[in-house]
Amino acid sequence: MQIFQRKNKKQNGFFLIEAVIASAIVATTLVMMLGAISNVVAISKYSLQKTQASYLLEEGVEVAKLLRNQSWANISGLTNGTTYYMSWSGSAWSYTTTAPGTATGIFTRSIVFSSVSRDGSDNIVASGGTVDAGTRLGTVTVSWSQNGTPRTDTLQFYITSTPSI
């Protein structure tokens, strides 16, 4: 009888150790799963914001085309290197040098135009050449903050006085 009781006490001790180890494994697994879920949520949020920024960049280019189609002076009359912000008045787009706060939610969108030079073969060149009064280089920038980290996306494009068909 005594042997049986010792064996039973040893089994109870092993059961306690097994329960502690199993609890530790379950707790560790849950903590790791919560960490993974947190990372997935953060990545999803960043992806959503990058997608929204991309749409705002594209819209910035379309606004420039729209204003150019109304009048080339809407583009050619802007000062090179000056930061402009797109403003929607409820019926029309315009450019302003006053930052509107945010374009959409957390985003701020701006555009800077610069002159374009061409060589004798009519190719665009970085330096030298002759300034082409009918072409401008536009740089749309969208900036926002994600968890205190500043983010910025840019899109450059050439725009001409004559709309392409």
pLDDT tens digits, one per residue of 83-120: 999 988 889 999 999 887 655 578 999 999 999 999 99
What average pLDDT does the segment 18-30 reach? 92
| Residue 24 token pair | 């530790």
Judging by beta carbons within 10 Å of its beta carbon (0-12, 13-18, 19+), is residue 137 exposed, middle or buried? middle
**pLDDT at position 147:** 82
What average pLDDT does the segment 64-80 reach? 95
**pLDDT at position 127:** 87
How far, in Å, CA of 152 to CA of 107, rounded? 10
131 Cβ contact list (under 8 Å, min separation 6): 115, 116, 117
Asked if residues 154 and 57 have their Cβ atoms less than 8 Å apart, the reply is yes
| 126: amino acid identity, one letter | A
Q: How remote is the C-alpha of 5 from its chain's centroid?
A: 69
**pLDDT at position 1:** 46
How far, in Å, CA of 115 to CA of 124, rounded? 11
What average pLDDT does the segment 19-31 reach? 92
- Any idea which of 66-80, 87-101, 107-121, 133-147 has the lowest mean pLDDT? 87-101
How many other C-beta atoms are found inside a 10 Å radius of the C-beta of residue 142?
25
How far, in Å, CA of 42 to CA of 161, rounded? 43
Of 77, 94, 101, nearest to 161 by C-alpha is 77
Percent of the chain with pLDDT over 70: 89
pLDDT tens readout for residues 46-60: 899 999 999 999 999
**pLDDT at position 42:** 84
| Strand, helix or coil for residue 119 | coil
For residue 81, is it left (φ>0), alpha (ψ between -120 and 50) or beta?
left
Strand partners, 119: none
- pTM tops 0.85: no
**pLDDT at position 143:** 94
